Amino acid sequence: MDSTTFTTITNIIQSRRTIKPNMMNGHKAPNGHIAALLELADWAPTHGFTEPWRFTVYENPAKFCQQHADIYKQGVSAGEFDETVYSNLQHQGDKASHVIIATMQRGDLPKIPPFEEVAAVSSAIQNILLGATALNMASFWSTGGAILKPAFKEFLQLRDEDQVMGVLYLGYADAMPEGKRTIPLENKVKWIK
Ligand SMILES: Cc1cc2nc3c(=O)[nH]c(=O)nc-3n(C[C@H](O)[C@H](O)[C@H](O)COP(=O)(O)O)c2cc1C
């Protein structure tokens, strides 16, 4: 790898930012872009070739958001139900281009512990986020709303051993937020001579 390639990937990694869908501008991505991002996802590392990443792509975010809002509504009692939460979920993707549900499908190799399957899917998701950044797309990895609730897992017809990894909102934005890290890198790294 030459230094230009390293500079390129450094720029992509460092400029990837979480951009929530309300900060997106409503521009649509061609489906081909999304397909190209899923190709990148498929090249994540995978122990034992279990390739546990599974994706459901919504070309129309509104369809996902209505389902998400309904899952929220079904999962709370009448007393707990909050109309504002429901409406926010319904409209969360209004300015996004595509929504991707990312799940972990547990492989059938018992020697691979579940955390490795989660790690592989996380790597696949990061490939999508970095690819999106390289395409000047905005992205948001969300586990909010009802995404981690049992009803969401049921809606996806996942087995007990599978895992919802989150929902990715993809689109475009006119402005980029500043990135920050709060713990110095030297506190996270130990070098041994
Ligand atoms: C597994 C995972 C789930 C996340 N879920 C949410 C979420 O539900 N809501 C949210 O605001 N941000 C969520 N984020 C995004 C983080 O808030 C974001 O990455 C963090 O603020 C750092 O900002 P950056 O991505 O721009 O570096 C999630 C990130 C990860 C890795």
Tens-level pLDDT at each residue, the chain (193 residues): 678 999 999 999 999 999 999 999 999 999 999 999 999 999 999 999 999 999 999 999 999 999 999 999 999 999 999 999 999 999 999 999 999 999 999 999 999 999 999 999 999 999 999 999 999 999 999 999 999 999 999 999 999 999 999 999 999 999 999 999 999 999 999 999 9
* Rounded Cα gap, residues 191 and 193, in angstroms: 7
50 lines ligand 1 (CB under 6 A): no
Coil, helix or strand at residue 163: strand
15 lines ligand 1 (CB under 6 A): no
What type of residue is 14? Answer: Q
Mutate to test the pocket of ligand 1, among 13, 130, 141, 167 (most ligand atoms within 8 A of CB): 141
Q: Give a yes or no: residue 9 inside a domain.
A: no
Question: Total domain count for the chain?
Answer: 1
Domain of 156 in residue numbering reads as: 15-174
Spatial contact of 23 and 110, defined as CB atoms under 8 Å apart: no
Evaluate if pTM is beyond 0.95.
yes
Output the pLDDT for position 144: 98
Q: Give a yes or no: residue 146 inside a domain.
A: yes
* Rounded Cα gap, residues 193 and 173, in angstroms: 45
How far is Cα of residue 108 from the mean position of the Cα atoms in its chain?
24
Q: Give a yes or no: residue 190 inside a domain.
A: no
* Rounded Cα gap, residues 165 and 119, in angstroms: 10
Residue 29 tokens read as 């991505």
Q: Give a yes or no: residue 79 inside a domain.
A: yes
Q: Give a yes or no: residue 187 inside a domain.
A: no
Q: Give a yes or no: residue 10 inside a domain.
A: no
Q: Give a yes or no: residue 42 inside a domain.
A: yes
Q: Which of 95, 98, 76 has its CA nearest to residue 85? A: 76
The domain spanning residue 102 has which CATH number?
A: 3.40.109.10
Q: Give a yes or no: residue 191 inside a domain.
A: no
